[in-house]
């Protein structure tokens, strides 16, 4: 019976596997084997001991470790005993010179390496979809909105390109984060490496080379949690971009706006009581789960403020944070990618909304032209502002009101004004900007 929704409702199979007990156990075993190989390389333990550990440690079972933990109430020591049991005479060298978090934090590094790989793959797929939608809609003129009110025109392509640019930065952040995050340690009880002798630093370096992850420069009993806090802030940042996209889709899918719509299956049900409903439930799901991902940031930061060389307050917290934030972030990327792939764009509604104010939203265009032709900029702003307010109150077109102003007519004829109020001719460099983003970010998709 599932207790947490990430067990069955949210998440991908591959990301759940990374944070499963089974994979965690395998990473711990891999760290113990790597330690033994490193210790042999630097003359700390006999070669045959490391060979025995390497051969037999993978035979240790999670179930046996759990049974031992019930007796001794120490999870890491239970795993050490379970590995030692299957390694015969070599078992006495398992975990030699290590403390629990040397192995546990190193195992976390292995899990994070795989988690970042999965998130990286999904971000690049999301970017590919956004760039494709940007190209398709780069010339699709639509109303721009500020403060929820109609502004001057923009294009759907520019919106998609802005989102793509954010995702591109997340991919860059991930690459920058990886070497700081994917690390292990072998520093002993308080960080001095005293139990490993004079070759301790070399042993740590070799162990991490075996595991193909980075090595800390300095540590106490645990890897400093600023590294992990950065990961959770990265997840929160990604989730917030997805939240931002989801909010925009939900807003544009409002009945009275109707410019976009999530794909809706032939047999999909929108409401248990209102048969007509077609709700943006996937975007709503992403927006809701983003709140959970962001909530991981505060405890992650607090996990770095441990007592002295360490306490245990981070441990229980991280057992929740790592799987929850990683699985939900991965899930949200996948869901939003699907939403954007299938997003229905209603061009008729876009056109209707673009002309809803009968040119009043194009007031800036007229103001700019009046100034260009000689009117004082502040005067032109005030004159067009007053005309716009009059047009709104009287429910008239801005062209009609401006056409009655002789001062405006001195600079711009009615024909000029009609051209200035054409939204299709007032999108600036939006197409070129979209093309620049596509050219810059397309290599990240390969």
SS3 call for 430: helix
Q: What is the mean pLDDT of residues 330-342?
A: 98
Q: Which stretch of 142-156, 319-333, 406-420 has the lowest confidence by average pLDDT? A: 406-420
List, in order, residues 6 or more apart from 374 with CB less than 8 Å away: 411
Q: Which domain holds residue 370?
A: 360-420
> For all residues of the chain together, what is the average pLDDT?
95
Same structural domain, 204 and 343: yes
271 is annotated as an active-site residue: yes
User: Does some domain include residue 79?
Assistant: no
Tokens found for residue 145: 């909105």
CATH code of residue 408: 1.10.40.30
Which tens digits make up the pLDDT trace of 238-271? 999 999 999 999 999 999 999 999 988 777 878 7
Same structural domain, 343 and 366: no
pLDDT of 398 reads 93
147 is annotated as an active-site residue: yes
Same structural domain, 293 and 375: no
Q: Which stretch of 149-163, 379-393, 431-445 has the lowest confidence by average pLDDT? A: 379-393
Same structural domain, 234 and 379: no
Cβ proximity of 332 and 15 under 8 Å: no
Which tens digits make up the pLDDT trace of 73-105? 999 999 999 999 999 999 999 999 999 999 999
User: Does some domain include residue 384?
Assistant: yes
User: Does some domain include residue 319?
Assistant: yes
pLDDT of 269 reads 79
Which tens digits make up the pLDDT trace of 292-334? 999 999 999 999 999 999 999 999 999 999 999 999 999 999 9
pLDDT of 2 reads 78
Strand partners, 178: none
Q: How far apart are CA 93 and CA 95, in angstroms?
A: 6
Same structural domain, 387 and 336: no
Q: What is the mean pLDDT of residues 387-402?
A: 93
Q: Which residue in the list 147, 272, 276, 316 is annotated as catalytic?
A: 147
Q: How far apart are CA 208 and CA 55, in angstroms?
A: 19
Q: What is the mean pLDDT of residues 20-47?
A: 97
pLDDT of 164 reads 98
In which band, very low, low, confident or very high, does the pLDDT at 355 lie, cut at 50, 70 and 90? very high
Q: Which stretch of 50-54, 271-275, 401-405 has the lowest confidence by average pLDDT? A: 271-275
Q: What is the mean pLDDT of residues 402-422?
A: 92
CA dihedral (138, 260, 290, 294) in degrees, to 10, reads: 50
Number of domains in the chain: 2
User: Does some domain include residue 434?
Assistant: no
Q: How far apart are CA 172 and CA 167, in angstroms?
A: 9
pLDDT of 263 reads 86
User: Does some domain include residue 173?
Assistant: yes
pLDDT of 380 reads 93
User: Does some domain include residue 221?
Assistant: yes
CATH code of residue 140: 1.20.200.10
Same structural domain, 178 and 244: yes
Q: What does the DSSP 8-state code read for residue 91?
A: G
Same structural domain, 320 and 376: no
How far are the Cα atoms of 130, 195, 237 from residue 340, in angstroms, in the given order? 7, 55, 19
Q: Assess whether pLDDT exceeds 90 at residue 173.
A: yes
In which band, very low, low, confident or very high, does the pLDDT at 168 lie, cut at 50, 70 and 90? very high
Same structural domain, 364 and 345: no
In which band, very low, low, confident or very high, does the pLDDT at 109 lie, cut at 50, 70 and 90? very high
pLDDT of 141 reads 98
Q: Which residue in the list 4, 61, 74, 271 is annotated as catalytic?
A: 271
Same structural domain, 294 and 396: no
């Amino acid at each position: 019976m599932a207790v947490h929704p990430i067990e069955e409702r949210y998440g991908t199979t591959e990301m759940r596997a990374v944070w499963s007990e089974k994979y965690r156990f395998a990473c711990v075993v891999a760290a113990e084997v790597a330690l033994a190989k490193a210790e042999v390389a630097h003359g700390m333990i006999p070669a045959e001991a490391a060979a025995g550990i390497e051969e037999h440690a993978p035979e240790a079972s999670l179930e046996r470790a759990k049974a031992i933990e019930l007796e001794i109430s120490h999870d890491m020591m239970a795993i050490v005993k379970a590995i030692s049991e299957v390694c015969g005479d070599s078992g006495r060298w398992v975990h030699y010179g290590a403390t629990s978090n040397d192995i546990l934090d190193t195992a976390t590094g292995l899990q994070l390496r795989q988690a970042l790989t999965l998130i990286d793959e999904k971000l690049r797929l999301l970017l590919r979809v956004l760039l494709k939608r940007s190209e398709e809609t780069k010339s699709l003129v639509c109303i721009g909105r500020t403060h929820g009110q109609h502004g001057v025109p923009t294009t759907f392509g520019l919106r998609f390109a802005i989102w793509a640019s954010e995702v591109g930065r997340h991919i860059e952040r991930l690459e920058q984060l990886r070497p700081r995050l994917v690390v292990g340690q072998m520093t002993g009880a308080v960080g001095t490496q005293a139990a490993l002798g004079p070759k301790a630093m070399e042993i740590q370096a070799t162990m991490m080379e075996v595991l193909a992850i980075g090595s800390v420069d300095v540590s106490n009993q645990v890897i400093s949690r600023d590294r992990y806090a950065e990961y959770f802030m990265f997840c929160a940042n990604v989730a917030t971009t997805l939240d931002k996209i989801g909010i925009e889709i939900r807003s544009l899918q409002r009945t009275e706006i109707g410019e976009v719509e999530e794909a809706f299956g032939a047999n999909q049900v929108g409401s248990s009581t209102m048969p007509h409903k077609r709700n943006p439930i996937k975007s709503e799901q992403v927006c809701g789960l983003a709140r959970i991902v962001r909530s991981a940031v505060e405890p992650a930061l607090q996990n770095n403020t441990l007592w002295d060389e360490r306490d245990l307050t981070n441990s229980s917290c991280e057992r929740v944070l790592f799987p929850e934030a990683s699985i939900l972030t991965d899930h949200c990327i996948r869901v939003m990618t699907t939403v954007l792939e299938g997003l229905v764009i209603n061009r008729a509604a876009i056109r209707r909304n673009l002309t809803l104010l009968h040119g009043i939203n194009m007031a800036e265009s007229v103001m700019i032209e009046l100034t260009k032709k000689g009117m004082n900029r502040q005067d032109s702003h005030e004159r067009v502002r007053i005309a716009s307010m009059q047009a709104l109150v009287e429910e008239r077109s801005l062209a009609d009101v401006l056409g009655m102003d002789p001062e405006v007519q001195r600079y711009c004829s009615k024909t000029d004004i009609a051209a200035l109020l054409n939204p299709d001719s007032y999108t600036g460099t939006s197409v070129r900007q979209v093309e620049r983003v596509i050219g810059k970010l397309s290599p990240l998709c390969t």
